[in-house]
Structure 1
Amino acid sequence: MTALQENVHPRPQLVRADWVDLCGQWEFAFDDEDRGLGEHWYRDSGVFDQTITLPYPPESELSGIHSTDLHPIVWYRLAIRTPSAASDERVLLHFGAVDYAATVWLNGILVGSHEGGHTPFQLDLTGAIDPLSDTQSLVVRAEDPVGDGTQPRGKQDWRSEPHDIWYHRTTGIWQPVWLEVVPELHLTELHWTPSVANASVTCSGELSADPGAAEHLRVVLRLGEEILAEHTVRLDRRRFRFDLAIPAARHGQDRFRLLWSPEQPVLIDATAELGESDIVHSYFGLRDVGTADGRFLLNHTPYYLRMVLQQGYWPQSHLAAPDGDALRREVELIKELGFNGVRVHQKAEDPRFLYWCDRLGLLVWGETANAYEFGPSAVQRLTREWLEILHRDRSHPSVIAWVPLNESWGVPDISAAPEQAHFVSSLYHLTKSIDPSRPVISNDGWETREADIYGVHDYTGHGAVLRERYGSPESIRRMLGAGRPGGRRVLLGKADLDVPVMLTEFGGLSFAPIEGEKWFGYSTVDDSDELVKLLGELVSAVLESPGLAGFCYTQLTDTEQETNGLLTSSREFKVSSTALKEIFTGTQGV
């Protein structure tokens, strides 16, 4: 394995001991005229005239290509040595994410395709492997057109150059690619839904096929060397679901040592053995989340959310992280600043980032890239990809809320177009039907319909204005009703006074721009001293509000021309991290 994955498996909650990393140097070609399919490039190695380093997109510096021009179609090729497999085993190829639509061939044979730029997929290569050759020709075609507004794009710009809050594109493969050999009958899914109140965890999943004759699945839960539970269940069908009691969690005065939180990120290791052929390793956190009486609850106790907006973008590699260490360092930086949570914005982040949030203790609002144009195609595309994100991430203890839409992106006429309002409502209910264990915010920022938390975006640059708008429960109710901090109504409907209210975007302070440079910010300051002063005024006004359940500050780092980060794009502090931590934790001057 390369340094990129030496510490964390690319699929950290369904791990087999042996796997082959395919990241590194691949052959590469642009196909701006869309000739490749007609000319059968999947059989022609001579057309690949460049070399790219994966998993970095071709627009990025680390890819070795570094072309930010509009290239709607790209091709990749790699000569691979497939791991040896017995006659009753399968060779699976995994992609973490390919933006946007991928088609894959092995030795000129089509093995599968996938649409969705932020979600993983796997393909079975077994039937296409040439047993007479030591190497196999793996070819990938990725299509990422910029002119289709119904395609979920998030913060990727549709223009030739970045503008306002949109950035350079990320085309093609941008998360790990890897191989593994599995038994004919194997586990394809494993999910965990904990319940502190019931001192148990629900284990659900799926096999690669119906077992025919009944198989047995043995699950062992451990905390270090301590065995917390051991259970064997008989499986006679492909999908399964059963509960595991955790007796140690029944002791009301002792179970705290088992509970997951940012302050104590305890993870319970799990081993699942399917018969004698398939062994996978996983983990989960024993914790409950919810809302009541206007507060967010963690393990049935009110918990104030101090969050920061993270774009998940690096100058040298765009949406892809520069390496595995960068994902861990991102979590460490956020915690160093005194935050206990992060809102990953318009992106489904690499699962290894979520692993470090689980391991180090950082709450996450799960989001996804939105489209810009409403229509049946946009509904189908966003819904399909959102379901895949829920499927991928719902076992991570760090993920404590779901946000399918942001600021009416893709539903710009929600207040006047019934079909758009129905879509937003349907996303809320669809999400709750898949995962009823977490709060869901249907449309964060404004024009919210159904929501378990009301998220408000307010970029005023004055602490006094924040105090006026959020300084009492009565003023917050007025803001939810008649107020328009973002220029639009906050709620499309009557407010439920038991629903928590959070300021989920505010601040956005930026140093005054240098003449001639591209720049975007919500409010400007002239130097670091003024940044600390104004930031202190804004945050203290939020912290003093008796009616807010938490906040999310915009934003963690500068990102291209969006220069309103607490850190530069290269992750350097603009002011002392100690000073920033004191501001966000309310200990400034204490």
Structure 2
Amino acid sequence: MSTVAPAPSAAATVVPLASRQDGRYPRPQLLRPDWVDLSGPWDFRHDDEDTGLDAAWPAGLPAPRTITVPFPPESEASGVAEPGFHPVVWYSRTIGRAELAAAGHGAGRPRLLLHFGAVDHRAQVWIDGRFVGEHEGGHTPFTFDVTALLVDAPDGATEHVLVVRAEDDPHDVTQPRGKQDWHEEAHAIWYRRTTGIWQPVWLEAVPTTAIDALRWTPTSPAATALTVRFRGRVPAGARLRVALRFDERDEDLGTTEWDATASRPTLDVTVPVARQRNGQAEDELTWSPETPRLVDAVLTLVDASGSVLDVVASYLGMRSVGVGGGRFLLNRQPYPVRSVLDQAFWPESHLAAPHPLAHRQEVELIKSLGFNAARMHQKIEDPRFLYWADRLGLMVWGEAPAAYEFSPTAVRRFTAEWTAAVERDASHPAIVTWVPFNESWGIQHVVSDPAQQAYARALVDLTRALDPSRPVIGNDGWEQQDTDVVTIHDYEGDGAVLAGTYADDAARARALEGLAPSGHPQFVGGAVDRGQPVMLTEFGGVRYQASGHRTEGWGYTAATDGDDWVARITALYDGVRASSFLAGSCWTQLTDTMQETNGLVHADRSPKVPIEQIRRAVTGA
């Protein structure tokens, strides 16, 4: 399967349009021309008694049924549709010579990598009964070099059996699980579980010395920092060449080279953007929701003789984010954040998107409703969604799925998964802030427990250490210590009351000095207001169901009909717009989700009233 234009040879003079692809490629900021999507029909078995290891299932599954990967077995899209408690599941499929060739395997790319986008929660992998490796963390990717098993297999087999075992204990609240319910039936604000494989599995061939990962961090309008990690030994005399191009103006932005020999195993460099040296053309290249301009990049690793060792395509966005003067800053200018809470849950496929195009459709829907940002709630989102947010112009709040227990195990698991998520997604210009905690989930006694306070502070500082280029929200909603934005959750249903609560500086002082609207302290651990921006990051939640949709459901307040619903949304937004100090807001929520019927659109993404009416209510225009 080929999804991007072939990369150039060392002698090529035209840089390909690296940032443009159809949205299927699972790793959008490090592209190669050939890969094989292993999604589709697999063999499948539940293992409720956990006997598969002893029964030799790693060699192949007995009496399997069929599942469609990457849809979780709880979902209708998987073909299994069994949402009950099944803590252990198994998958199996064959890999043949044709797939190895399609992945690009050959003399120039002898190594074969098996990639998993996400498997919830713990995965173990075998090929032909030989153990490959394991990974813990249900929302982050992992990769195995399977060359020895698929190519150098001693028996010379032309077809191989890939087996995956996944553990996802529904009662283990030390696992980062987000909105996945630990009850058998979905209740309150929690939803059906997503077990096992729920993002793409894919095969890719790479050179012996390969570009393994990269990270872009714009440092000024004229330059960007770049970190490149290599796989395999980098030979003496090797050089890394980076060519930048601005597709929108058909403009070459310069090519720079560095000695890569000293990389062990990473190379850190600063890449100049030639046209930006005097800064006078800065706005022509800047990324924002209104102008989502992307810079294409081709990275070529050559040896001492100039022969190409590896070449990959990527992209970046030239933008900065921060806080100052009580405002959120985008490209050093105050920028009002108008966000919506997105659970990114589909009725037919749960946390997995029903098809790759759904990611683009979600971004387009959010923008059509008048929003410039989305808070991905309790979910580390698929990179393919972030690709469309980058390309189409949607700011994203990167949030972690919470564990529900505070314990050494929960701390270890959450810290590892959050670290992996930040490292994976830090190059996306769309992501403008990090949110490791929400409403004290996993730190329920942070008000009084010094250990939980230390943990919350440590996660904020760890996030800043991993990525100092973005603001960090310490604990979204209430009970905040060290946070770059003070966030408030307020589900007041009367717009006039909301307007009074957040009217002016005196109202700001009242809102922050005591209890949040939830009844929780706004600050804990001796923290006080330091003049940070204040945002209303959850409000609204008005329930309404159009004719032909379920009549029961849950919301914070309820509308009687479509006109009443639009009037309530408008009044609440008028209250926010009347504030002299709120730096942004986040409406709850984008879609109806299972028993929650307080979305702006139905669960199938159809609008409850004409989109123009919702947009006018949201934007005031």
TM-score, normalized by length of structure 1? 0.96
Residue in structure 2 matched with residue 206 of structure 1 by the alignment:
229
Contact 1:229 1:244 in 2 (8 A): no
Q: CA deviation at 1:460?
A: 1.1
- Work out the CA distance in 2 between the residues paired with 1:480 and 1:494: 11
For residue 132 of structure 2, what is the amino acid of its counterpart? Answer: V
CA distance, structure 2, for counterparts of residue 44 and residue 230 of structure 1: 50
Shift, 1:117, TM fit: 0.7
Match of residue 536 from structure 1: 570
Q: Deviations over 1:372-424 (max 9, x none)?
A: 01100010000000000011100000000000110000000000111000000
After superposition, the Cα gap between the structure-2 partners of 1:74 and 1:518, relative to the gap in structure 1 and judged at 3 Å, is farther
Match of 1:233 in 2: 258
Q: After superposition, where does 1:224-303 map in structure 2 within 5 Å?
A: 224=247, 225-236=250-261, 237=263, 238-275=265-302, 276-303=308-335
Cα shift at 1:6: 5.2
Deviation at 1:286, TM superposition (A): 0.3
Structure 1 pair 140–308 and aligned structure 2 pair: CA distance change class (3 A): same
Contact 2:481 2:527 in 1 (8 A): no
Alignment counterpart, residue 107 of structure 1, candidates 128, 135, 156: 128
How many residues are paired up? 584
Instruction: Kindly provide the CA deviation profile for residues 490-539 of structure 1, in whole angstroms up to 9, marking residues without a partner as x.
Output: 12244334310000000000027999976221111111111011111111
Q: What is the aligned partner in structure 1 of residue 44 from structure 2? A: 28
Q: Does 1:547 align with 2:581?
A: yes
**Structure-2 residue corresponding to 1:370:** 402
- Report what 1:56 is aligned to: 71
Deviations 1:449-491 (A, max 9, x none): 1111111101111112212221112211211111320120112
Alpha-carbon distance between aligned partners in 2 of 1:208 and 1:332, rounded to the nearest angstrom: 37
Aligned equivalents of 2:201 and 2:520: distance in 1? Answer: 43
* Cα separation, 1, equivalents of 2:330 and 2:529: 21
Match of 1:94 in 2: 115
Asked if residue 215 in structure 1 is aligned to residue 247 in structure 2, the reply is no
Unaligned runs of 5+ in 1: none
Distance in 1 between residues matched to 2:550 and 2:286, nearest whole Å: 52
Cα separation, 1, equivalents of 2:488 and 2:115: 38
**How much has 1:52 moved relative to structure 2?**
0.3
Superposed, 1:419-498 pairs within 5 Å as: 419-492=451-524, 493-498=526-531
SS of the residue corresponding to residue 228 of structure 1 reads strand
List per-residue Cα deviations over 1:186-236 (Å, max 9, x = no partner).
Answer: 111111001235x10111021113424242111101012311121111112
For 1:373 and 1:202, the matched residues in 2 are separated by 38
Q: Deviation per CA, 1:341-378, whole angstroms, max 9, x where unpaired?
A: 00000001110000000000000000111000110001
Paired AA for residue 57 in structure 1:
P
C-alpha displacement at 1:35, in angstroms?
0.3
Within-5 A mapping of 1:567-582 = 567-582=601-616
The two structures, once aligned, show a CA RMSD in angstroms of 1.8
1:506 alignment counterpart: 539
Identity over aligned pairs, percent: 48
Equivalent residue, structure 1, for 2:344: 312
Change (3 A) 1:376 1:517: farther
Q: How does 1:404-423 map to 2 (within 5 A)?
A: 404-423=436-455
- Give TM-score, length-normalised by structure 2: 0.92
Aligned to 2:78, the other structure's residue is in SS state coil
**Which residue identity lines up with residue 455 of structure 1 in the other structure?**
T
Equivalence for 2:13: none
1:167-202 CA deviation, whole Å, 9 max, x = no partner?
A: 0000000001100000111111111001235x1011
Q: Is the 8 A contact 1:289 1:297 kept in 2?
A: yes
Distance across 2 between alignment mates of 1:294 and 1:183:
50
**Is the 2:60–2:92 Cα contact (8 Å) retained in structure 1?**
no
Amino acid corresponding to residue 214 of structure 2 in structure 1: L
In terms of mean alpha carbon deviation, does 416-425 or 574-583 score higher?
574-583
1:160 aligns to 2:184 (yes or no):
yes
Counterpart check, 1:354 vs 2:386: yes
| Structure 1 equivalent of residue 88 of structure 2 | 73
Contact 1:205 1:240 (C-alpha < 8 Å) held by counterparts: yes
For the Cα contact (< 8 Å) 1:366–1:401, is it kept in 2? yes
